[in-house]
């Protein structure tokens, strides 16, 4: 409860900066989705002891990196 309002303001400002940087709402959304999928296998490996080194997970991580590459370069 204590951190809800400050974190909401931080999220709002971070989102507006991302949209301004990419000049598109969809680019910011895809970028944030790709970052969230890259961090999820790492956190599940650390906290839940699930291996991220399965073929399906590695392919999804690679696709997330490709999404980030497309959003940043193009």
pLDDT tens series, the chain, 74 aa: 889 999 999 999 999 999 999 898 999 999 999 999 999 999 999 999 999 999 999 999 999 999 999 988 88
Contact between 34 and 68 (Cβ < 8 Å): yes
Instruction: Look at the pTM and tell me if it is higher than 0.75.
Output: yes
pLDDT given at position 1 = 81
Contact between 37 and 61 (Cβ < 8 Å): yes
Residues 6 or more apart whose Cβ sits within 8 Å of residue 61: 37, 38, 41, 52
Contact between 12 and 2 (Cβ < 8 Å): no
pLDDT given at position 40 = 92
């Amino acid at each position: 409860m204590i951190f809800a309002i400050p974190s909401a303001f931080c999220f709002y400002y971070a989102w507006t900066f991302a949209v301004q940087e990419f000049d598109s709402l969809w680019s910011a959304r895809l970028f944030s989705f790709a970052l969230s999928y890259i961090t999820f296998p790492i956190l599940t490996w650390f906290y839940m002891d699930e291996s991220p080194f399965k073929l399906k997970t590695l392919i999804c991580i690679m696709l997330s990196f490709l999404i980030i590459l497309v959003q940043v370069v193009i």
